[in-house]
Amino acid sequence: MRNEKVLYITSRLPYPPVGGDKLRTFNILKILAKKYDVSLVVITDETMDKETELALHKYTKELKVFTKPKYRIYLNTLKFLINNLPLQVNYYYFDDVQKYINDTLEQVDFSVANLVRTTQYLEYSTKERYLDMVDSIGLNYKASKEHVVSLFWKSIYNVETNRLLKYEESCVNEFTNTFLVNKYEAQHWSEFGNVTWVPNGVNQELFSYNKKNDKYKKYIAFFGKMDYQPNVDAVMWFIENSLHKIDKDLKFIIIGTRPNQHILELSKKYDNIEITGFVDDPFEILNSVLAVVAPMQTGGGIQNKILESMALGTINIVSSLGAKPIIGAKDKEHLFVCDDGDDVSKLINDIYNNQDKYQYIKENSKNLIKKCYTWQECENTLFKIIGDKK
C-alpha cells in the first residue's frame, strides 16, 4: 500500500532552521515526512547550498527550488496596482512555478501552503488543501500601524492591512483547515471557516541544556532576528524606556541574525550594549544571562524566542503583547509581564540584587513549556486534523 503524497509549498528554504519562521517550516516538513511522501516546492531569493539540499532531501521524495532574483520579485509587487491582491502574494507568484505546481497537483493526494503568500498557487486545486497561515499578518498590521517606528513599514501597513484582512478571510473560507500559532488569532478567524490552533514547539534538547558562560551573568538579553521590524521596535523601546535605569553593572546584549545598520550603530552609541549578529549557539548566552526581555510593541503570532528562553529556565520579562499568545503562562508564576519602562527596570534591578528570590520562576517556566509547547504536541494535533480529512 503506497503512502499518501503531499505537496508542501513554502517561500523560504526551511534549512538551516534559523528564526521562528524557518524553525516551524522545517519541523512541519519533518512531521509530514513521517507519514507522507512529500513533494516540497520552495520559491525564494536564497541560494541553496549543498548542506541545505542534503538536509531537505532527507525529508522529501521530490524537491524543487525556484530561485528568483530580487529584482524579479520586487517587480512582481507592481501587479497589486491591477489585481488588488496583497503585495506579498504578488511578490511570490510566478507563472513557471504555477505550471510546475499544476502538474504536481495531479500526482498528490493533498497539499499544504505555508503562509498566505503561497496560497494563490492552490486557488483552483480540487483536492484537500491546508493552510499553515502561522500568523495573521492582516491582524498584525492592523494592530501595529500606530506603533511601528519605521516610516517605511508604516506605509506598507497602510497599503496592505485591508487587502490582507480580506484575502486571509477568503483563504480561511476556502481551505480545508487553517493553522495558526496564536490562539486568539485562531479564535478570530474561526468565524469564517475551519481553523485550528497549532502553536510552535521547542526542541527537546533545550530542557536538559546546561552550558553556561560566566561572562554573561550580568547581562540582560534580547533574542531574535534583527532584520524583523517588530524585533527592532522592541529593542528600541527597551533602550528608550528602561536601559538607562538599570544597574550600571549590567549590560544589554542583542542576539540575532542580520542586525540592520540602525541596530549595529547602537553598540557605538552605548557602552553597555553588545550586538552579536549570528552565533552558532545562542542558548549558551541565554542560559547564562540574568534575564531575557521581549518588550514586543508590534508583531503577531507567538514568539519562539520567548518559548525557547522559558524552556531553558531563564527569567523572561515580556510585554502583554508578547505574553498573551503563550496560553497557560501566568504573570509572576512563569514569566513577568511588564508594559511600563520603569516597572521593567525596577524588576531587573530587583532580580539582580535578590536572585534567589526568583529561582521558582525558572523551574515553573521550563515545566510549562515541556508540558504544552513541544513539536510532539504540534505533531499530534496536525495528524489528528489531516488524518480526519477523508
- Listing DSSP states for 255-314 in one string gives E-SS--HHHHTHHHH-TTEEEEES-S-HHHHHTTSSEEEE---S--S--HHHHHHHHHT-
CATH topology for the 5-201+374-387 domain = Rossmann fold (3.40.50)
Q: Side-chain half-sphere of 353: how many Cα atoms within 13 Å?
A: 9
Q: Is residue 372 classed as helix, strand or coil in its secondary structure?
A: helix
Mean pLDDT of the 197-214 span: 93
d(CA 99, CA 348): 55
d(CA 150, CA 233): 8
143 pLDDT tier (thresholds 50, 70, 90): confident
Which of 82, 41, 90, 75 has the alpha carbon at shortest distance from 61?
Answer: 41
Residue 298: the pLDDT is: 85
Q: pLDDT averaged over the chain?
A: 93
Q: Side-chain half-sphere of 27: how many Cα atoms within 13 Å?
A: 25
Residue 79: the pLDDT is: 87
d(CA 64, CA 62): 7
d(CA 215, CA 307): 24
What is the maximum alpha-carbon separation in the chain? 67
Q: What is the dihedral of CA 369, 374, 380, 386, to 10 degrees?
A: 120
Confidence check: pLDDT of 2 > 80: no
Domain 204-372 has CATH 3.40.50.2000: yes
Mean pLDDT of the 252-267 span: 92
CB 257 within 8 Å of CB 226: yes
Model confidence over 43-59: pLDDT tens digits? 999 999 999 999 999 99
Residue 390: the pLDDT is: 44
147 pLDDT tier (thresholds 50, 70, 90): confident
Q: Do domains 5-201+374-387 and 204-372 have the same CATH topology?
A: yes
Confidence check: pLDDT of 5 > 80: yes
| Distance (Å) of CA 162 to CA 136, 142, 145, 167, 171 | 12, 8, 12, 8, 14
Model confidence over 155-180: pLDDT tens digits? 888 889 999 999 999 999 999 999 99
Domain ranges for the chain: 5-201+374-387, 204-372
